[in-house]
Amino acid sequence: MSLLGLFITSFIVGLSGALMPGPLLVATIKGTYHYGAIAGPLITLGHGMVELAMVLALAFGLAGFVSNNLVMAVVGSAGGLVLIGLGYGMIRGVFQGKISLSRSGEEQTSTRFGPVTSGVVASVVNPYWVTWWLTIGATYVLLSLKQGLAGLPFFYTGHILSDLGWLTFVSLALSQGRKLIGERFYLGLIFLCGLFLLALAIWFIYSGIKALT
């Protein structure tokens, strides 16, 4: 995968996660009522620090396996399977009415932390966060390392910009008393992201199998 491919696909994959109702979105919605429009960027900062630490840890641990086809096959296939689960879950949630932007703020989350700390906490308490990074994230780190020193910055920048863009939009819109986006448009984005994850899953698994041949 090229540097541009790393940036674009990591942005879309990251956006698919950012759009889904979860601890990070809830923290942003609640944080905006306490701190205003700056909540989104500050929560992203906390989230980004944790994710940068994870990227560096994975890069350090996987650096010696960049040329190991078996490791690439196992990690890539695992990442592909997780992507299938996420993509299918997003599409199913749209059709079953289980995903709703309007109900995101109803979830309970603590507001005793500042926005940066909330970004850290919302990341590490998410049960899917570690799984995501040990499968999909690890695959991206391996693909990035194959591109040399520039690979990791391209991947990380694309990934974190999706969080920054969406969470900033949410906090800015809420602070100005505006409706975020129409529910139908939001569900359409979720559906398209789900399709993209399924397509990327096929590519991950294919690349993993190809590494062994």
pLDDT digits (tens, 9 = 90+) for 37-61: 899 999 999 999 999 999 999 898 8
Side chain identity at residue 191, one-letter code: F
Tell me the per-residue pLDDT of 157-201, one tens digit each, with 9 for 90 and over.
999 999 999 999 988 888 887 666 677 877 887 788 888 889 888
Q: Is the pLDDT of residue 62 over 70?
A: yes
What residues contact residue 110 under an 8 Å CB cut-off, 6+ apart? 118, 121
Higher-scoring residue by pLDDT: 79, 101 = 79
Q: Give residue 67's pLDDT band: very low, low, confident or very high (50, 70, 90).
A: low
Range of the domain at 29: 3-212
- What pLDDT does 103 receive? 55
Length of the chain (residues): 213
Q: Give residue 111's pLDDT band: very low, low, confident or very high (50, 70, 90).
A: low
DSSP string, 24-65: HHHHHHHHHHHHGGGHHHHHHHHHHHHHHHHHHHHHHHHGGG
- What pLDDT does 173 receive? 86
What residues contact residue 39 under an 8 Å CB cut-off, 6+ apart? 28, 31, 32, 115, 171
Q: Give residue 108's pLDDT band: very low, low, confident or very high (50, 70, 90).
A: very low
Q: Give residue 78's pLDDT band: very low, low, confident or very high (50, 70, 90).
A: confident
- What pLDDT does 7 receive? 96
Lowest mean pLDDT, pick from 8-17, 51-60, 128-137: 128-137
- What pLDDT does 66 receive? 64
Q: Is the pLDDT of residue 102 over 70?
A: no
- Nearest Cα neighbor of 11 from 124, 157, 212 is 157
Q: Give residue 104's pLDDT band: very low, low, confident or very high (50, 70, 90).
A: low
Reported pTM: 0.78
- What pLDDT does 167 receive? 92
- What pLDDT does 114 receive? 85
Sign, CA torsion 187/190/194/196: positive
- What pLDDT does 45 receive? 96
Number of domains in the chain: 1
